[in-house]
């Protein structure tokens, strides 16, 4: 019986390590899938904004057709934003920066459009325009909420996979850190408002 004790100890230790590795892997997979799902929610919110833009542009065009440059800028920014996509299984900082740049370009174009709208009181009173503007504002809020939720679940995943001793297994099993949304460059500066 004494000769079996070292073998039993080795088997118990091996079984414990196996259970720990399986538990880590399953938890990491769950957290990673949650982050991917949340990324899909972020993209869905951005898509909703992109879907509202053609109707908004068409409504504005009816009142402000000579603002062609601004309207074309919005359409081009929308095209750039919708063609910039990211694979949530392999988001790199460069991909995230490109995605954020395209989305910021669209936000900037929409801001210019809203400034143009100020020149047209009839347009500002148009019920269709008011509803589209309200939906767009709600969508912008939704985008912010979904980005914050994404950052929270990615933080949870990153912390889980980077703590010791889980960090040892994360590298072996291919659980790389995921990229967070960062504030757009220059967003720390207050915008300049000029009504001239």
Q: What is the pLDDT of residues 83-128, one digit of tens each?
A: 888 887 778 888 888 888 899 888 888 888 888 888 888 887 788 8
Instruction: Supply the pLDDT for residue 94.
Output: 87
Which has the higher per-residue pLDDT, 191 or 29?
A: 29
Q: How many structural domains does the chain have? A: 1
Instruction: Supply the pLDDT for residue 190.
Output: 44
Q: Which domain holds residue 112?
A: 38-83+90-173
Q: What share of the chain is helix, strand, coil (3-state, %, to 5)?
A: 80, 0, 20
User: Which residues neighbour 118 within 8 Å (Cβ) at sequence distance 6 or greater?
Assistant: 124
Report yes or no on 51 lying in a domain. yes
Distance from C-alpha of 93 to C-alpha of 181, rounded to nearest angstrom? 9
1-10, 53-62, 87-96, 185-194: segment of lowest average pLDDT: 185-194
Which has the higher per-residue pLDDT, 182 or 183?
A: 182
Instruction: Supply the pLDDT for residue 143.
Output: 92
Report yes or no on 25 lying in a domain. no
For all residues of the chain together, what is the average pLDDT? Answer: 84
Instruction: Supply the pLDDT for residue 88.
Output: 76
Report yes or no on 154 lying in a domain. yes
**Burial per residue of 58-88, b for 16 or more beta-carbon CB atoms within 10 angstroms, e otherwise:** ebbeebbeebeebbebbeebbebbbebebeb
**pLDDT band with cut points at 50, 70 and 90 for residue 192:** very low
Residues 59-70, mean pLDDT to the nearest whole number: 79
CATH number at residue 162: 1.20.1440.20
Is residue 178 a contact partner of residue 91, using CB atoms and an 8 Å limit?
Answer: yes
Specify the DSSP element, H or E, that contains 112: helix 93-117
The tens digit of pLDDT for each residue in 137-174 reads: 899 999 999 999 999 999 999 999 999 888 888 888 88
Distance from C-alpha of 99 to C-alpha of 5, rounded to nearest angstrom? 59
Nearest to 84 by CA among 72, 97, 102, 70: 102
Report yes or no on 188 lying in a domain. no
Distance from C-alpha of 147 to C-alpha of 154, rounded to nearest angstrom? 10
Report yes or no on 137 lying in a domain. yes
Residues 66-85, mean pLDDT to the nearest whole number: 85
Report yes or no on 136 lying in a domain. yes
Report yes or no on 100 lying in a domain. yes
Instruction: Supply the pLDDT for residue 80.
Output: 87
pLDDT at 13 over 70: yes
Report yes or no on 98 lying in a domain. yes
pTM (2 d.p.): 0.78
């Amino acid at each position: 019986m004494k000769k079996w004790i070292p073998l039993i100890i080795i088997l118990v230790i091996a079984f414990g390590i196996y259970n720990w590795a399986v538990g880590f892997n399953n938890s990491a997979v769950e957290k990673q899938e949650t982050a991917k799902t949340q990324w899909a929610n972020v993209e869905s919110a951005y898509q909703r904004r992109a879907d509202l833009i053609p109707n908004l542009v068409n409504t504005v065009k009816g009142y402000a057709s000579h603002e062609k440059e601004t309207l074309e800028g919005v359409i081009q920014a929308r095209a750039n934003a919708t063609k910039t996509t990211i694979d949530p299984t392999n988001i790199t900082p460069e991909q995230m920066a490109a995605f954020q740049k395209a989305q910021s370009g669209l936000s900037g174009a929409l801001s210019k459009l809203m400034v143009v709208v100020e020149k047209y009181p009839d347009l500002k009173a148009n019920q269709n325009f008011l509803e589209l503007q309200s939906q767009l504002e709600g969508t912008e809020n939704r985008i912010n909420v979904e980005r914050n939720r994404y950052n929270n679940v990615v933080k949870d995943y990153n912390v889980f996979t980077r703590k010791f001793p889980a960090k040892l297994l994360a590298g072996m099993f291919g659980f790389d850190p995921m990229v967070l949304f960062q504030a757009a460059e220059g967003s720390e500066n207050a915008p300049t408002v000029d009504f001239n």
